[in-house]
């Protein structure tokens, strides 16, 4: 299953899975906008980061890509910030 791992400057890490990379991204976008509860565990609250810099890696990628300022757009946030080989991998699994 495609997944994208997001990391923040606070050393918090979150892996979001979906039927496609874009679906995983859209779930993260909902989280960033406070529209999705990531954890339902009682007493645990996860809030979006205060710093706008977000790092991410796709599946088993070993180095992080950087989103300097979250835009809420899959192409601008994910595709534009990946290497060509990762872009090709994402495009291979595209739902569009």
pLDDT (tens digit, 9 = 90+) per residue, 34-88?
776 655 545 555 666 677 788 889 988 888 899 988 888 999 999 999 989 889 8
**Mode of pairing for the β-strands spanning 13-17 and 54-58:** unpaired
Which parts of 9-64 are beta strand (E)? 13-17, 54-58
- 33 vs 8 pLDDT, higher one: 33
Please report the pLDDT score of residue 39 as a whole number. 56
Distance in angstroms (rounded) separating the CA atoms of residues 72 and 12: 20
Please report the pLDDT score of residue 41 as a whole number. 47
Q: Domain range holding 82?
A: 3-92
- Per the structure, the count of domains in the chain is 1
Residue 5 pairs with which residues in a beta bridge? 15, 57
Please report the pLDDT score of residue 40 as a whole number. 55
Please report the pLDDT score of residue 10 as a whole number. 62
Please report the pLDDT score of residue 15 as a whole number. 83
Please report the pLDDT score of residue 18 as a whole number. 85
- Residue carrying structure tokens 């899959």: 74
């Amino acid at each position: 299953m495609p997944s994208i791992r997001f990391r923040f400057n606070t050393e918090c890490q979150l892996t979001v899975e979906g039927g496609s990379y874009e679906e995983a991204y859209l779930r993260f976008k909902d989280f960033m906008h406070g529209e999705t509860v990531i954890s339902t565990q009682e007493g645990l609250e996860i809030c979006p980061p205060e710093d706008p810099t977000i790092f991410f890696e796709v599946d088993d990628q070993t180095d992080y890509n950087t989103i300097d300022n979250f835009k809420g757009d899959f192409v601008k946030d994910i595709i534009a910030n990946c290497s060509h080989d990762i872009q090709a991998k994402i495009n291979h699994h595209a739902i569009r």
